[in-house]
Amino acid sequence: MRLMMPLLAVAAFGVPFLAACVVETRTTDSNTQPTPTATETAPTPTQPMVVSVMTNQTMTANPGDGVGVFVEYKSGGHWKVWETCDTNKSNQGCDFTLGFSSATGALSNVASLPGAVTNTAPAGSGGGFTATTSITTQVAGVSFDAAPGARVTIDATVSGLHSGDFFFFVEADANGTPQVNGGYGGKLSDPLSFEPTAP
């Protein structure tokens, strides 16, 4: 497995263009960028970075075309986290281990998304859980509930690698325009904490 940025689409209202990705609105515009490769993983920080995830935004990606952990939040405390691999380019599979936690209560209603089987298990006494799956050209993942607006932290390992490069989410850029990762070009932490923009 090589780290490859998947081609993404974001469903957002009135967004005409998303740098380095595909944006879906009432019309579609696309752009691609060269695929990054990871030569080393970022060190795990003491405290995860906190990013905003825009409420009620969705993304799409072609399974098998890139490695990604995609984080979406729907109002009322409903989370969906799904994964893709780069098997079409690397001819290898991806083994995902994701740890989920929240400082403001237990996570509940954990369910595997349709597609590849995702195994889940409680992760200690804090009300979190761990999800594991192995995929090639499928989409896998979980849905779960948390307190509305609660911050959720995800610790992602993909085929033994920890890297914030795996995370994708919709965040507003400096102008308030929804973009994948808010257009942030720096290094994200892994684990990474997600805070919804609205409960």
The answer on pLDDT for 105 being more than 70 is: yes
Q: Which amino acid is at 23?
A: V
Averaged confidence pLDDT in the chain: 82
How confident is the model over 59-75, as pLDDT tens digits? Answer: 999 999 999 999 999 99
How confident is the model over 18-76, as pLDDT tens digits? Answer: 222 232 322 233 333 344 444 444 554 569 999 999 999 999 999 999 999 999 999 99
At 145, list the tokens: 């509930």
Q: Look at the chain and count its residues.
A: 199
Q: Is residue 131 part of a domain?
A: yes
Residue 76 pLDDT: 97
- Its pTM stands at 0.80
- Its domain, for residue 154, covers 52-172+191-196
How many independent structural domains does the chain possess?
1
At 48, list the tokens: 């995860």
Query: For position 125, which CATH number holds?
Result: 2.60.40
Q: Is residue 162 part of a domain?
A: yes
Q: Is residue 29 part of a domain?
A: no
Q: Is residue 73 part of a domain?
A: yes
pLDDT-wise least confident of 118-127, 142-151, 166-175: 118-127
DSSP 183: G
